[in-house]
Amino acid sequence: MAGAVFRTGFSVASNQLISEPQMMIKLSFRVQLNLPSWLLLSLLLLAVPAQSASRKPVRAKHAMVVSAESLATFAGLDILRSGGNAIDAAVAVGFTLAVTYPEAGNIGGGGFMLIRLADGQSTMIDFREKAPMAATRDMYVDSSGNVIPEKSVLGPLASGVPGAVAGLLMALEEYGTKSRAEVLERAIAYAEHGIAVDLRLEESLVGYMSDLEKFPSSTRVFTKNGEPYKEGDIFKQPDLAKTLRAIAKDGHDGFYEGEVADRIVEEMKRSGGIITYDDLESYEAVERTPVFGSYRGFEILSSSPPSAGGTVLLEMLNILEGVDMKGKGAHSSAAVHAFAAAAQQAYADRALYIGDPDFVEIPQQQLISKEYAAQRRKTIQENKATPSTDAPNAGKEEGSHETTHFSIIDQFGNAVSTTVTINSLYGCKTVVDGAGFVLNNEMDDFVSKPMNPDSYELVGFEANAIEPEKRMVSSMTPTIVVKDNLPYLIVGGRGGSRITTAVAQVILNVIDFGMNVQEAVDFGRVHHQWRPDKILYEPFTLPQDVLVNLRAMGYTLEPTSIANGRVEVILREPSTGFLLGAPDPREEGVAAGF
């Protein structure tokens, strides 16, 4: 990996770029282990103090990987340097995150992979989880029609049928060039030999241990002698290593049939879930056409239903295209008003119309059309908020950031934007005993009861009601922006319902406000999602006079204790062709390229 450079959301070597081989050499002098240098790095690399946001984006000439975790980023970069393409690298990153980022990047969940090939062709692989065949419309409500707290979020009954393994393998088989063994090598080694626990993982485990301890299998995996793993401990996952080996050997059948399937079904029977062998054997990832649109001359490709992300993103951008955002200025009262109003409109349509396209009719082309956006724009009043109760389709703050995103571009011109999820951190908090991975709690993303908020305070209607084998609506928004027929921005993020507004703001920051890509990522964010009717803003984001003006317009404003999304972005510099990686400091993301 000579010549590779990287930047993380934390400071290394006095904030100077350092090559991975240099770091390996420094560390390898201190221990004598018969392990590959990249694996040795995983055992010794610990988190260091947070870096300021004044950094520049990472520059590379040929290829770039940006993810939430360093070892996963380097796994992808290693694949690229060995001649693999962006799809190969994405699969390697996805499986590695299942080991190194277990609270979010887990094979017990699902997601969406947006691919734009060097020849301009594009596709989206939908590996969203599905409701089990035994699922029913009212499975999370009592006899009086009231939603039962925690039933759709805690324990295996909250789990949809996992799709991540099927989706990653489909991508590899259809568009990759490497073998399963090659892309899974690092993930298997990290699971078997262990990774060094950093402060992020320690704090995450401590914060969720009260729920994890409710399940003996989870306690066995995530504790050391009954105590949560601490910073500096070596975290080994032998059961997960065995599962990954089965996938490397037998592919789809190594997960959805055989011993791993046995383990999943046994866990269901033991802990009250309803996923069966038939659910597992019948699960398939599917390819879908991405949504296409434009913004001020830039082509936008994004996720299509059952992800609502791309549709909401394009509706917002179409509304804002008729507004002089540059003239208003970033974070001005007028710009925030326009953005919040556009978000209100788009999220209201999300609630009413978006569902699994295999089950419901979605007026997709209408929702993303310029004409429809012009109609919606006319309903926005200047200098006056529109109450959500008056929107045409007419609490608490959830702290989970369950999802993880990675952006990749290779030396051949292929670009991949991938978001994977298990919903809440550690999903339903249940590890499949003997298989080593956490199950998702994506059933909470269905509408258990119309207009009843989910864990992200999102509401919905019948389009997203529970049905057997249906895929639940998602906020994931993997996106590729194209300029002059070449990838310009590769972007996506984590953060539940806040993902789409985060992606939109990065695009606006670059295109309208002229920020460099790292500034665009670091810049403070606001969020509005129709219901609840309030603007959530990150602390120190909006000046006091802007807050006063927005309140005078009729907005309710609330500082958020959690980030308004966490994004990982690559920009291709049109004038030079250089690739600029911008990790999000909100999650200590990592960019690496060569």
Task: Give buried/exposed letters for 290-314 (b at 16+ CB in 10 A, else e).
Answer: bbebebeebbbbbbbbbbbbbbbbb
- Return the structure tokens found at 6: 């990287």
Q: Which amino acid is at 198?
A: D
Q: What is the pLDDT of residue 33?
A: 41
Cα torsion 95, 437, 207, 194: sign: negative
The DSSP string of 287-317 is EEPPEEEEETTEEEEEPPTTB-HHHHHHHHH
> 553: helix, coil or strand?
helix
Alpha-carbon 37 to chain mean position: 29
Distance CA 79, CA 318 (A): 38
Distance CA 95, CA 54 (A): 32
């007419």: which residue's tokens? 394
Vertex 322 angle, CA 317 and 327, to 5°: 100
Distance CA 455, CA 458 (A): 7
> 61: helix, coil or strand?
coil
Alpha-carbon 181 to chain mean position: 25
Instruction: Count Cβ atoms below 10 Å from residue 587 Cβ, excluding itself.
Output: 25
Checking DSSP bridges between strand 579-582 and strand 569-572, what pairing results, if any? antiparallel
All structural domains of the chain with their residue ranges: 288-400+475-574
């002229």: which residue's tokens? 514
Checking DSSP bridges between strand 479-483 and strand 227-228, what pairing results, if any? unpaired
The pLDDT tens digits along the chain (594 residues) read 334 444 443 322 222 233 343 333 223 223 334 566 666 555 544 333 333 344 899 999 999 999 999 999 999 999 999 999 999 999 999 999 999 999 998 899 999 999 999 999 999 999 999 999 999 999 999 988 888 989 999 999 999 999 999 999 999 999 999 999 999 999 999 999 999 999 999 999 999 999 999 999 999 999 998 999 999 999 999 999 999 999 999 999 999 999 999 999 999 999 999 999 999 999 999 999 999 999 999 999 999 999 999 999 999 999 999 999 999 999 999 999 999 999 999 999 999 999 999 999 999 999 999 999 999 999 999 899 988 765 444 333 444 446 899 999 999 999 999 999 999 999 999 999 999 999 999 999 998 766 555 444 555 568 999 999 999 999 999 999 999 999 999 999 999 899 999 999 999 999 999 999 999 999 999 999 998 899 999 999 999 999 999 999 999 999 998 999 999 999 999 999 999 999 999 998 899 999
CATH architecture of the domain 288-400+475-574 equals Orthogonal Bundle (1.10)
- Return the structure tokens found at 340: 């919040």
Checking DSSP bridges between strand 590-593 and strand 5-8, what pairing results, if any? antiparallel
Please, which residues have CB within 8 angstroms of residue 479's CB and are 6 or more apart in sequence?
114, 300, 301, 302, 303, 309, 310, 313, 417, 489, 490, 491, 492, 503, 507
3-state SS record for 497-562: HHHHHHHHHHHHHHHCCCCCHHHHHHCCCEECCCCCCCEEECCCCCCHHHHHHHHHHCCCEEECCC
Quick one: residue 239, left, alpha or beta (phi over 0 = left, psi -120 to 50 = alpha)? alpha
Which of 96, 276, 311, 403 does the annotation list as catalytic?
A: 403
Does residue 306 have a cis bond before it (omega within 30 degrees)? yes
What are the CA-CA distances from residue 160 to residues 110, 111, 421 (Å)?
9, 12, 12
Beta bridge partners of 479: 302, 491
Distance CA 506, CA 525 (A): 9
Distance CA 63, CA 45 (A): 24
Distance CA 102, CA 239 (A): 13
Distance CA 504, CA 163 (A): 27
- Return the structure tokens found at 176: 């990759």
Instruction: Count Cβ atoms below 10 Å from residue 119 Cβ, excluding itself.
Output: 8
**Sheet containing strand 486-491, strands side by side:** 58-60, 579-582, 569-572, 486-491, 479-483, 298-302, 291-295
Please, which residues have CB within 8 angstroms of residue 39's CB and are 6 or more apart in sequence?
186, 189, 190, 193
Distance CA 334, CA 337 (A): 5
Q: Which amino acid is at 154?
A: L
Q: Which amino acid is at 24?
A: M
Single out the residue of 112, 111, 100, 103 nearest to residue 241, CA to CA: 100
Distance CA 488, CA 511 (A): 11
Catalytic (active site) residue 403: yes
Single out the residue of 520, 410, 486, 517 nearest to residue 58, CA to CA: 517
Checking DSSP bridges between strand 493-494 and strand 566-567, what pairing results, if any? antiparallel
Q: Find the largest Cα–Cα distance for the chain.
A: 69
What are the CA-CA distances from residue 170 to residues 79, 98, 175, 249 (Å)?
18, 17, 8, 15
Cα torsion 300, 306, 307, 313: sign: positive
Distance CA 542, CA 563 (A): 14
Beta bridge partners of 416: 115, 408
> 493: helix, coil or strand?
strand
- Return the structure tokens found at 549: 């003006």
Beta bridge partners of 557: 535
- Return the structure tokens found at 258: 């055989």
């292929």: which residue's tokens? 414
Is the full-model pTM beyond 0.85? yes
Residues present in the chain in total: 594
Q: What is the pLDDT of residue 447?
A: 86
